[in-house]
Amino acid sequence: MNSQNVPAFRQSISSSMGCENCYRLTQIDGVKFPSGPEADRGVDIHAILAPYARHCAQHHVPADFAYLDSLCDAVGDEAFTILENCRDNLTIDWQNFFEAEIHFGMDEDFRPTFSYDHDGKKVEVDPVWGIEGSGREPAYCGILDVLYVMPGGRVAKAPDYKSHNRPFPADTDQGKLYTLAVLMHLPELQECEFSLRFVRYANVVTAHKYTRQDVPALMAAMKRKRAQQEQIHHKVETGEPLRVHGGPHCSYCPCILNPDRYPCPIEPLNPSINRTPAEWLSTKLVLDTMKWVADNTLKQTADQTREPIRSQDANGKWYIYQPEEREVVTAWLFEEDGKGGFDMPIVNALLDWANENSSDLVPRRGSKPWFCNLKIGWSKLHSYLKSNKREIIHNRIRDLATIEKRIQYKITKDAEIDDGPVDESYSEEGEETEF
Ligand code: SF4
């Protein structure tokens, strides 16, 4: 397979490679998936953040809300709301600003070269890199949202803005590709941190740091992706069967939008095709209700009959619903000492253990001593602390506690029709919060 005929590997291609049929349709047959609200939202946000970062750097300020507002006037409602919510956390490190929206290309040997934009237009090596390109066809392309280079030119930070609902770790193919590109374009650089900034949320950032020692491993990872890409082209040329695999990439596959013209080879089994997202939500509501009804019915029946409930599958295997004794251990934090004060027997026992077995508290590399993982559940504590008369201790404990934002999906239900104008909600993971 002549790799010249294979388009440069880039982040947007990476996701379609999850299914070889999706890749063939979008990257070889050229079927364009029309832009959707998510893509428009991402484009809107990026169109604002690059000029905003440049403006802040030129004016030597970490933020300029008036200017951000003026840029936001032209974007869609959703992008506007996201940017409005996150603007307090959108700080630009103007002192170390290198450039925003920087195109990069690397040839098969990872030497910097020209690149192509998303429309296939050739983009020469950006002068900001201060290097000449190899002039060879790019095998890898991308656009860095923003790059900061610290004084001395040995450490860089490459944040990438994401408008996704659900944050994810930064150790992605994109992170590897972008970090490798930065290290190959700036030869003096020794370390680069790639981070994902989830702009929907205040201060939700995931990051991964790479050093120059990681370059061989990064190159190997990118070569594997390139080989995988070439393999798909080879299979299409020779008519070999393609590996079809459903997943998040189905959302961007032409088979979803036009199944009559581009039938998905695994359609009968593909959850993305046999139900719409709204139907899956509806299905989940039905199944959640059925589970609730089943749990209650089983419990009531077993309580009444005091007999196990049995069911046998086609293999002859029995499933039995019956009560089972379970040990519940509660470690009380305080005990009255009989003199008007309190003892902490569990804590004292733990401290005694630590004194006598200090080697057990030596942390493993990269972790904390296991004592530092012990915590008190916030729900119980908060049920007492929320009283007005305990405001001072409440605030004191919140100052001492670790408070972090966790993102979880939940279904909200508009209860206006049957319960009055309030929102009811429940979350998938329950309401328990820990500190
Ligand atoms: S819809 Fe079918 S062909 Fe398209 S990505 Fe999903 S599994 Fe692959």
Q: Is the Cβ atom of 25 under 6 angstroms away from ligand 1?
A: no
Ligand 1 atom nearest to CA at 267: 2
Q: Is the Cβ atom of 200 under 6 angstroms away from ligand 1?
A: no
Report the pLDDT value the prediction gives residue 366, as an integer from 0 to 100: 65
Report the pLDDT value the prediction gives residue 78, as an integer from 0 to 100: 67
User: Which residues 6+ apart lie within 8 Å of 260 measured at CB?
Assistant: none
Nearest CA, atom 3, ligand 1: 264
Ligand 1 atom nearest to CA at 262: 3
C-alpha of residue 168 to centroid of ligand 1, in Å: 23
Residue closest to 376 by CA, chosen among 416, 333, 344, 408: 333
Nearest CA, atom 5, ligand 1: 250
C-alpha of residue 174 to centroid of ligand 1, in Å: 22
Ligand 1 atom nearest to CA at 254: 4
As averages over each run of 10 residues, the pLDDT of the chain (435 residues) reads: 78 87 92 70 80 94 87 72 72 94 96 90 94 94 95 95 85 95 96 91 88 96 95 95 86 83 86 83 85 92 92 84 91 91 93 91 78 86 90 91 82 57 38 32
User: Which residues 6+ apart lie within 8 Å of 17 measured at CB?
Assistant: 23, 225, 228, 229, 232
Q: Is the Cβ atom of 26 under 6 angstroms away from ligand 1?
A: no
Report the pLDDT value the prediction gives residue 249, as an integer from 0 to 100: 83
Nearest CA, atom 2, ligand 1: 264
Tell the burial category of 229 from Cβ atoms under 10 Å away from its Cβ (0-12, 13-18, 19+). Answer: buried
CA dist 405 and 429 (Å) reads 14
Q: Please report, as a single letter, which amino acid is at residue 57.
A: A
Q: Is the Cβ atom of 256 under 6 angstroms away from ligand 1?
A: yes
**Dihedral sign, CA of 310, 313, 315, 319?**
negative
Task: Kindly report the length of the chain.
Answer: 435
C-alpha of residue 249 to centroid of ligand 1, in Å: 7
Nearest CA, atom 1, ligand 1: 250
Ligand 1 atom nearest to CA at 252: 5
Task: Dig out the tokens for 251 from the structure.
Answer: 């959302």
Q: Is the Cβ atom of 143 under 6 angstroms away from ligand 1?
A: no
Q: Is the Cβ atom of 134 under 6 angstroms away from ligand 1?
A: no
Interhelix angle 378-385/391-400, rounded to 10 degrees, is: 150
Mutate to test the pocket of ligand 1, among 249, 252, 274, 275 (most ligand atoms within 8 A of CB): 249
**Is the CB of residue 130 less than 8 Å from the CB of residue 189?**
no
Ligand 1 atom nearest to CA at 256: 1
Q: Is the Cβ atom of 82 under 6 angstroms away from ligand 1?
A: no
Q: How far is CA 205 from CA 89, 164, 174, 198, in A?
A: 11, 12, 15, 6
Q: How far is CA 334 from CA 66, 372, 425, in A?
A: 53, 19, 35
Q: How far is CA 144 from CA 196, 257, 431, in A?
A: 12, 30, 38
Main-chain phi, psi angles of 159, to 5 degrees: -75, 145
Q: Is the Cβ atom of 56 under 6 angstroms away from ligand 1?
A: no
C-alpha of residue 23 to centroid of ligand 1, in Å: 9
User: Which residues 6+ apart lie within 8 Å of 48 measured at CB?
Assistant: 68, 71, 72, 75, 79, 83
C-alpha of residue 225 to centroid of ligand 1, in Å: 19
Q: Which residue has the tokens 């279904």?
A: 411
**Is the CB of residue 335 less than 8 Å from the CB of residue 328?**
no
Main-chain phi, psi angles of 403, to 5 degrees: -115, 115
Tell the burial category of 179 from Cβ atoms under 10 Å away from its Cβ (0-12, 13-18, 19+). Answer: buried
Nearest CA, atom 6, ligand 1: 250
CA dist 352 and 333 (Å) reads 16
**Is the CB of residue 425 less than 8 Å from the CB of residue 410?**
yes
Q: Which residue has the tokens 């300029």?
A: 64
**Helix residue spans in 190-333 (DSSP H):** 215-238, 254-257, 271-274, 277-305
Nearest CA, atom 7, ligand 1: 246
Q: Is the Cβ atom of 174 under 6 angstroms away from ligand 1?
A: no
DSSP secondary structure letters along 129-184: G-S----SPPSEEEEEEEEEE-TTSSEEEEEEEE--SS---S-SHHHHHHHHHHHH
User: Starting from the edge strand earliest in sequence, which strands make up the sheet with 97-106, in order?
Assistant: 112-113, 97-106, 140-149, 155-162, 191-198, 205-211
Q: Is the Cβ atom of 176 under 6 angstroms away from ligand 1?
A: no
Q: Is the Cβ atom of 146 under 6 angstroms away from ligand 1?
A: no
Q: Is the Cβ atom of 15 under 6 angstroms away from ligand 1?
A: no
C-alpha of residue 244 to centroid of ligand 1, in Å: 6
